Chain A
């Protein structure tokens, strides 16, 4: 019996040493402002929870059924999301591994990194929404430092070039195959980043109006898909310029996060990528590689797509930004 137990322990240690994927989950920064945003803006909070579901179900479906998923994603799942889930989202956020159990086995490290960055989104909303915090910059710095202190999970605040998303051998397949779903994901990202400047308005009435406008803009995106949906990935500098100037590291992290969402979608959707797990791990390494496809100084607020100018004008027209 002693031998069996010893062997079991040795086996577990060898498993631990040899496997790349550790659980490594970490609690968000504990503070008085936790969950202030969700209490003040429950409708938007439910939307954000639905976005997490939308990301998770997308990856699960792309991974489980890449050959025959086009109609399901673009019609059945898209309609369910837009007509049901986004309108009746859950009050509490969901562990994405319960929605995407197979994808989480494939790419736990990526899922965990996303989860960690989503926590940063939520915590920064909490700070900006909390009227009791006098020195918001100080609190934003604390939360950012806590986020970055987890080097395994944090996106580093070094801006990636759009080439990272657009010019790899697997790039752009997802948006070409699934234009509606891709536009929906970009609409999620619009709301997530446009909220920041709205939350930073000094006057309460201005703030409430701006938040309402962002919320309405999001729903306007979904009115006549795919034409009405965003035609390029929304960048933080474009939709929250004040926030981006004040908190440039946040801007970079969120843009990198959103690019990485597209990168994972492309890897899963592109049939020429044979070893999905390996390619995702490589993308994780590259997104935090300070020398790989780094943005030029003026590249923060735009897309490298040739149709950028035209698309941008369209977007601005739609949203009066």
Chain B
């Protein structure tokens, strides 16, 4: 719990005096709030602070929550770099704070803007350090992303490969796929979205989400979802988080 307070304090400290706007309620990043993301990076010289307070999962009587502070920054056209930490809480009989569960470093590059004939394409490559009770594991992560719009409706397709670096295997168990749709309400700075995410042959997730720009400084997002398939791990999933944007030029 102490670590959470320190982290929240640090984020709060970083955000002091930020009065800058963002208009990227329209730019859906991974887990904000859906797993599937669009093919566009944040703006060059934009710094995005994210605080996901709730990533809540219920399986029977087990409750699980992840808090994720994350910073992304872009200093090259169509590219950004992100660093995030997952802090885990778990409840069986009572809530227990398990500390840092994952550290993730991610790069993202958008290749092109969608045009009349081709979708927008992007690639994301990351390193994930997973902290476990027994052995810590390093993962490599590679994701291919495409975004195509049909009028105002946008679709996003993700193919995600995550494999232990020590034993890289390219098989179906390491691959997951996401398909999401979103629809904007620009006068309300609101984006509605839904996705179906396939973790493996027998484990899938379906979610509905919202992103809403509250004012020039603050964006809020939320989603609800459930898993289905014989190997499902969660009955219910709920996410809630905030995102702030600041410009930064060195």
Contact = CB atoms under 8 A, between A and B. Distances in A.
B115 A27 contact: no
A92 B20 contact: no
A288 B249 CA distance: 26
A106 B116 contact: yes
A152 B118 CA distance: 22
Given A15-B118, A30-B249, A101 B186 contact: no
A108 B161 contact: no
Given A23-B78, A23-B120, A90-B187, A1 B170 contact: yes
A34 interface: yes
B68 interface: no
A74 to B, nearest CB: 23
A102 B151 contact: yes
B45 A34 contact: no
A13 B112 CA distance: 10
A104 B111 CA distance: 16
Contacts of B213: 92
Nearest to A11: B121
Interface string A102-114: 1011101000000
Q: Taking chain B's interface residues, is the majority helix, strand, or loop, or is none over half, making it mixed?
A: loop
A25 B121 CA distance: 15
Given A29-B247, A92-B216, A21 B115 contact: yes
Contacts of A5: 142, 161, 170
B121 A15 contact: yes
Interface stretch (B1-9, B36-44, B94-102, B228-236): B36-44
B206 interface: no
Interface residues of A, number: 41
B170 A2 contact: yes
B74 to A, nearest CB: 8
B132 to A, nearest CB: 26
B161 A105 contact: no
A142 B151 CA distance: 39
A295 interface: no
A23 B112 contact: yes
A34 B121 contact: no
Contacts of A35: 19-21, 216
A72 interface: no
A273 interface: no
A133 interface: no
B137 interface: no
Contact of A30 (B40, B41, B45, B151): B45
A72 B37 CA distance: 36
A23 to B, nearest CB: 5
Interface string A23-67: 111111110001100100000000000000100000000000000
A139 B40 CA distance: 31
Given A15-B121, A22-B112, A108-B115, A27 B216 contact: no
A19 interface: yes
Interface string B212-250: 010110000000000000000000000000000111110
Given A90-B187, A92-B23, A95-B186, A19 B45 contact: no
A12 B111 contact: yes
A93 interface: yes
A26 B45 contact: yes
A27 B46 contact: yes
Given A98-B186, A101-B151, A105-B149, A19 B78 contact: no
A285 interface: no
A59 to B, nearest CB: 14
B111 A21 contact: no
Contacts of A95: 23-24, 26, 184, 186
B138 interface: no
B78 A24 contact: yes
A2 B171 CA distance: 10
B152 interface: yes
A90 B188 CA distance: 7
B40 A23 contact: yes
A41 to B, nearest CB: 14
Given A98-B184, A102-B151, A105-B116, A12 B21 contact: no
A30 B244 CA distance: 14
Contacts of B43: 25-27
A106 B149 CA distance: 13
B247 A94 contact: no
Given A19-B115, A24-B78, A38-B216, 13 more contacts: A5-B170, A12-B111, A24-B113, A27-B44, A30-B20, A34-B20, A35-B21, A53-B186, A91-B215, A101-B149, A105-B115, A106-B116, A108-B115
13 contacts: A5-B161, A12-B121, A15-B112, A22-B77, A24-B78, A25-B43, A27-B245, A30-B248, A93-B21, A95-B24, A98-B26, A98-B152, A101-B151
5 nearest A-B residue pairs (beta carbon): A30-B247, A1-B170, A16-B111, A98-B184, A94-B186
